[in-house]
Amino acid sequence: MQITFLGTSSMVPTKDRNHTAVFLSYDTEGILLDCGEGTQRQFKIAGISLQKVTKILISHWHGDHVLGLPGLMQTLSSTDYDKKLQIYGPKETKKRIEKLFEAFVFDKKLDFEVHEISNGKFFENNDYILESYQLEHGVETLGFAFIEKDKRKVDMKKVRKFGVSQGPLVGKLQQGQSIEFKGKKISPDDVTFMEKGKKVSYVTDTVICNGCYKAAKDSDILICESTYSSKLMEKGEEYGHMTSKQAGMLANKSNVGKLVLMHFSARYKDTKELEEDAKDVFDNTVCAWDFMKLEL
């Protein structure tokens, strides 16, 4: 799994920080979290093909989170994109997507599907689950979590002790099936172990609320907004945003492994103050920058 931060600014971009967008790559899946203005150009600079995008998750419909959507969709429609793009967002997302196609001229058709979601699980396959959580920002806003399922891993040293080498029999053991080899039964419990899946949560544009804690709970990585430092807490409350210290407290109370701050106000020329503010309450904190990559 790889996470690429394509945009880490809030409402106003800066020369160093683009509007909000985060790309999570997992196996053949490419999940784009929000799509601020200029996101498709950020993909190019990061060296990531737009063809890799399979899902777009929209937290809410403020411009700094969606203004890049029509451009990205138009580019996909003019390429050899051979998938059905899946778009997920809060209620009224279908209507707003329809309005995009009324406002702009798309010469070629893009195959896509729009899903309106609220609280709870909205996607599941054999490898992972996607969940959404209701946040509080004055407009319909969602937080998200990517939850990797636990995986059975084969201990090849133990397998070789039974005389079994790589091949279909090892595959069956990894799938949790018992096998028979040279007259001896081998159980998956004899030679495999369960590896716990990772959880990545995404919380942006909200005041502290129950949905924040549900999203953040037990996350290996919490990607969280940090629009203001604690010195501007009243301003944050007025505009429906968290401070960096509040993000740190959220991580502290939610059994989070690592806190990654983003969605910074343009007033901050660097993010040192915000990082230190969060570290007062949660030490394993880092401020994201555009094109930062994390490997899990």
Q: Give the domain CATH number at 97.
A: 3.60.15.10
Q: Point out the least confidently predicted range of 72-86, 106-120, 141-155, 182-196.
A: 182-196
How far apart, in Å, do the first and last CA atoms of the chain sit? 5
**Does residue 66 register a pLDDT over 80?**
yes
Average pLDDT rounded to a whole number, residues 280-288: 98
138 and 156 assigned to the same domain:
no
Q: Point out the least confidently predicted range of 47-56, 98-107, 113-122, 125-134.
A: 98-107
- Which one of the listed residues 64, 205, 277, 290 is annotated catalytic? 64
Q: Known catalytic residue: 64?
A: yes
215 and 270 assigned to the same domain:
yes
108 and 17 assigned to the same domain:
yes
100 and 170 assigned to the same domain:
no
| Number of separate domains in the chain | 2
Q: pLDDT tens digit string along 220-231? A: 999 999 999 999
Choosing from 141, 176, 193, the residue where a domain stops is 193
Q: pLDDT tens digit string along 75-105? A: 999 888 999 999 999 999 999 999 998 998 8
Looking at residue 154, its pLDDT comes to: 87
User: pLDDT band at 108, cuts 50/70/90?
Assistant: confident
Strands 120-124 and 128-134: antiparallel
168 and 226 assigned to the same domain:
no
HSE-up (13 A, CA, CB side) for residue 41: 10
Task: Report the alpha-carbon distance of residue 22 to residue 221 in Å, rounded.
Answer: 13
Print the domain residue range for 121.
2-150+196-295
- Contact 7/17 with Cβ under 8 angstroms? yes
200 and 189 assigned to the same domain:
no
Task: Report the alpha-carbon distance of residue 145 to residue 90 in Å, rounded.
Answer: 15
The per-residue pLDDT of the chain, averaged, comes to: 94
Task: Report the alpha-carbon distance of residue 192 to residue 174 in Å, rounded.
Answer: 7
50 and 183 assigned to the same domain:
no
pTM: 0.91
14 and 30 assigned to the same domain:
yes
Task: Report the alpha-carbon distance of residue 14 to residue 17 in Å, rounded.
Answer: 5
| Count of beta carbons in the 10 Å neighbourhood of residue 82 | 7
Looking at residue 9, its pLDDT comes to: 97
pLDDT higher at 260 or 192? 260
